[in-house]
Amino acid sequence: MRSITDRTLSVAAVQMNSQQDIKKNLETIAQAVKDASIQGAQLVVLPENCCSMGAQTATAEQFDALSSSLAQLAAQHQIHLLAGTLPCPYRPDGMPVPNERLRQVSQLFAPDGSQVARYDKIHLFQATVADDTGSYNEAATFEAGTKTVVAPIRLDDATFHLGMMVCFDLRFPALAQRLRQAGSDIVSAPSAFTYLTGQAHWSLLLQARALDSQCMVIGAAQGGTHQYPKQAARETWGHSAITRHDGTIAADYSHSALADHEAAQDYALVMATLDNAAQEKGREALPIFNCHRLA
């Protein structure tokens, strides 16, 4: 095992513009994961609703098959894959979600294809936004999860710990703090922020949660226009970014819709390296969790 002074982890956030064509979305994911792996990524984070924006019930019917496909990608490219979110019809204990609702599930797969962890989104989006959708109430479709999750990322010579969040979770600093207290080095934040709320708050929230937890935060986002057959199109903010423990931006993608040179490949990559020695040094210089009194 390497000493803490030379532990690094190469991470990639994938920005997508998922529609409701699951097959095409999977093709985009496969290409993005391959690209990130070639560039040296050891952890790849997909956005929320990576396999379909909308059509949640129909997508949930394929939860097991889609999870298996994503697990196979992790094994094929020998990387850890954070599979954004998928709608799931059953709870972690296998019991069906009652009242025809679903769980919004984020999964971490290891390089051997095994599922390392499952996190069910705790905070469900509820807001009134001045866009064509207007009112958002995720609880009408989903049941909230109840457990925080910190998952190990085991490499040959080091282990990192990933705290799992999803989108609206970013608005709740207590969750980020609890993940740090449970040992997190990194926090994942697969997201699909609306254009207006993202424009106002996305970057600030990534930076704030990094400062709260003193962890690297990986914000993999949906961006651009998403067509819905029977309702208004939805616009998401994109601007995927990776934020260091001190709140500085390690790398970002400064667009909502894909730029012309990425449009042909249907995704954009944001890549950075976690320097654990620098992160630990920053934590030691500002030991806020030694001073924490309220939780």
* CB contact at 8 A, 176 and 213: yes
Among candidate residues 121, 143, 215, 235, the one labeled active-site is: 121
3-class secondary structure, 277: helix
Q: Which two tokens stand for residue 27?
A: 């093709």
**Is 138 annotated in the active site?**
no
Smallest CA-to-CA distance from 67 within 50, 42, 79 is with 50
CA dihedral 262, 265, 270, 271 (to 10 degrees): -120
* CB contact at 8 A, 210 and 217: yes
Among candidate residues 50, 167, 215, 235, the one labeled active-site is: 167
1, burial (CB in 10 Å: exposed 0-12, middle 13-18, buried 19+): exposed
**Is 291 annotated in the active site?**
no
Among candidate residues 48, 138, 143, 235, the one labeled active-site is: 48
Q: 10 Å Cβ neighbour count for 175?
A: 21
Smallest CA-to-CA distance from 212 within 223, 200, 204 is with 204
* CB contact at 8 A, 250 and 9: no
* CB contact at 8 A, 63 and 86: yes
**Is 34 annotated in the active site?**
no
Positions marked active-site: 48, 121, 167
